[in-house]
Amino acid sequence: MPELPEVETIRRGLDRLIVGKTIARARHCDSPKSFPNDPTAVAHFLHNARVTAVRRRAKVLLIELNTCYTLVVHLKMTGQLVFVGAERWGGGHPTDSLIHELPDRHTRVIIDFTDGTRLFFNDLRKFGWMKLYPTAEVPNMPFMRRVGPEPLGDSCDSAAFISRIRRRNNTTVKAAILDQSVIAGVGNIYADESLWQACIHPAMRVHALSGEQLAVLLTSIKQVLALGIETGGSTDKNYVDAEGNKGNYLQFAHVFRREGQPCQRHPDSTIQKIRVAGRGTHVCPVCQVLPLE
């Protein structure tokens, strides 16, 4: 699944390309669950609607319309968005659908704009979706009610973060920051990188960490995610940036997929791959010591 930087780079591409355009029509191809919307609502609130903004909440895209409705888009594991007009733009899972003629066998939803340009939602595994909601109701979606604060938002300060993560006191710190109700958008890659930067072992229990350590961890999360956005995301072999090019964050990674290589902070130590919170996890045994409980 894409992490926050990948979705943010896709959001920026959509913001540049479709804001101000008017939707002529939208339809699903062969997968109704990819576009599970009432046809009457689609006719009244999506067709002939103008795109006013493209926003992001956690790993979800929000295409806002002048009808006071929002098209909520979740790419899940293998979703991608491809814009076809004077230029071709692609963001998401890097199948041949990014470059081949569309629609193809992976196309689930087609959105036609009145100027003749089109937006294709392709999804290899059919887990992703586009759902039309009244904009005022979007915050009440079950996912939106559960998700924690945006790590790069002004409201996510150390006091708020510590208060939320302390609710997971008995879990490992990696499991806690992967929990979207604690903080939004952090996935496996950026969790490993943030914990390395903060010199915290991923298997430490939250209750064993001081408030100062947790504050340092939040700073590390913010810095790592900001670098991920700046470099177009990690792709993790599955995602490309908003111009259809693979992101290059992994060129700057300190631990992720660097097992057996020297630690960049302690060259005499080598990065190890272990398992924490059910996930492959990368650590430096010198930087990130697991205290005996």
Beta partners for residue 222, in sequence order? none
Q: Let me know how many helices (H) and strands (E) the chain has, helices first.
A: 7, 11
Q: Regarding predicted confidence, which is higher, 176 or 228?
A: 176
**C-alpha–C-alpha distance, residues 78 and 2, integer Å:** 9
Length of the chain: 293
Separation in Å, CA 61 to CA 15, 37, 73, 203: 11, 17, 5, 32
What is the reported pLDDT for 257?
87
What is the reported pLDDT for 237?
46
In this prediction the pTM is 0.86
Per-residue pLDDT of 62-107, as tens digits, reads 999 999 999 999 999 889 999 999 888 888 877 888 788 999 999 9
Burial (CB count within 10 angstroms: exposed 0-12, middle 13-18, buried 19+), residue 282 = buried
**C-alpha–C-alpha distance, residues 49 and 65, integer Å:** 6
What is the reported pLDDT for 4?
86
Separation in Å, CA 13 to CA 8, 81, 198, 259: 9, 10, 31, 33
Mean pLDDT of the chain: 91
**C-alpha–C-alpha distance, residues 23 and 224, integer Å:** 36
* Structure token pair of residue 46: 């999506």
Active site residues: 2-3, 59, 279
Per-residue pLDDT of 161-171, as tens digits, reads 999 999 999 99
- 3-state SS string for 26-72: EEECCCHHHCCCCHHHHHHHHCCCEEEEEEEECCEEEEEECCCEEEE
Per-residue pLDDT of 35-64, as tens digits, reads 999 999 999 999 999 999 999 999 999 999
What is the reported pLDDT for 194?
97
Under 8 Å between Cβ of 20 and 51: yes
**C-alpha–C-alpha distance, residues 162 and 215, integer Å:** 7
Domains present along the chain, CATH in parentheses: 4-146 (3.20.190.10), 158-283 (1.10.8.50)
Per-residue pLDDT of 110-162, as tens digits, reads 999 999 999 999 999 999 999 999 999 999 999 899 999 999 988 899 999 99
- 3-state SS string for 69-114: EEEEEECCCCEEEEEECCCEEEEECCCHHHCCCCCCCCEEEEEEEC
